[in-house]
Amino acid sequence: METKYQKVDRVVLIGSGAVGISYAFALMNQGVTEEIAIIDLNADKALGDVWDLNHGKTFAPSLTNIWQGDYEDCKDADIVCLCAGANQKPGETRLDLVEKNMKIFKKIVDDVMASGFDGIFLIATNPVDVLTQAVIEFSGLPAHRVIGSGTTLDTARLRYKLGEYFKISPKAVHAYIIGEHGDTELPLWSRATIGPVPLHTYLETHENHKAEDLDQIFVEVRDAAYHIIEKKGATFYGIAMSLVRITEAILKNEHTVLTTSSYLQGQYGVKDVCIGVPTIISRKGVQEIIEVPMNEDEQKKFMHSVQTLKDIYEPAIKHL
């Protein structure tokens, strides 16, 4: 009797720099996918990473099949995660990277699509919102199948800082950063809660904590990458773990809410921009973009973030 082939989950990682290989390492250690193919311009680096990861299989929760891949491996991939590109240097904003990385992405996406790829793109490279929109353009895929890491990491940073401030688990903090993954992002203070209690109500009942402290917490969250880059040259562990969280939500069809960079097509009164917003993530990719009510100040800041990204993307894509 012929055995029917059972499809397994495959992730192809393109770009095995610090972010990419941290992502592969976290994927393996959490047992999120059965297969990981690693592609990098530096073939020796990719092969060395494959050997190194495989040597730890004994200690992993499952025996993930990991190999040095090529673009043909994208044909059967469920997710292609793009971590390739130029890194952010000290003093350089994420948006400064746009022209360099758009050119790199055009070639990569063309090669991926030539393989017959029919899965979901997950974008990590900065400026992530602009490059996510570029991948939609370059690939011709439906927008729901191209997802940027967006403000998932920023949101995690905010929850960590608030948890530290209130001496409570960050998992009990429900607060979101939305907008550009960068200098114009904003916190949704009006919708934040500690457990089920609105943040500002919680503050009123805890006299050792002050509403004005929230501004400093946000500044520390917004500027976290600059401080980390100054100290160690790059950020990679946090973003890698956020990428794994998105990957897991897709492969397990979780229908969970994450602040990914998603393509707005009328939501929030905005069209034709990828930006970090609360999004239901499933096996489909972007299942639904959630429209969160904002106060007047939040709405103004969000629209400023939208316009900032449009002002970068539109001339860059025309120039390319």
Which residues belong to the active site?
A: 181
Rounded Cα distance, 21 and 33, in Å: 15
Rounded Cα distance, 193 and 210, in Å: 15
CB atoms within 10 A of CB 26: 18
Beta bridge partners of residue 124, listed in sequence order: none
What end-to-end distance do the CA atoms of the chain give, in Å? Answer: 55
Which residues are within 8 A (CB) of 172 and not within 5 positions of it... i.e. 6 or more apart?
163, 194, 195
Beta bridge partners of residue 82, listed in sequence order: 14, 123
Angle at Cα 183 formed by Cα 188 and Cα 293, nearest 5°? 20
Sign of CA dihedral 53, 55, 57, 59: negative
Exposure pattern of 169-202 as b/e (b: 16+ CB <10 Å)?
ebeebbbbbbbbbbebbbbbbebbebeeeebeeb
Q: Which helix (H) or strand (E) holds 28?
A: helix 18-30
Closest CA to 31 of 69, 55, 59: 59
CB atoms within 10 A of CB 229: 17
Beta bridge partners of residue 79, listed in sequence order: 11, 120
Q: Which helix (H) or strand (E) holds 12?
A: strand 10-14
Rounded Cα distance, 212 and 200, in Å: 11
User: Quick one: CA torsion of 279, 281, 286, 291, rounded to 10 degrees?
Assistant: -20
Rounded Cα distance, 276 and 153, in Å: 11
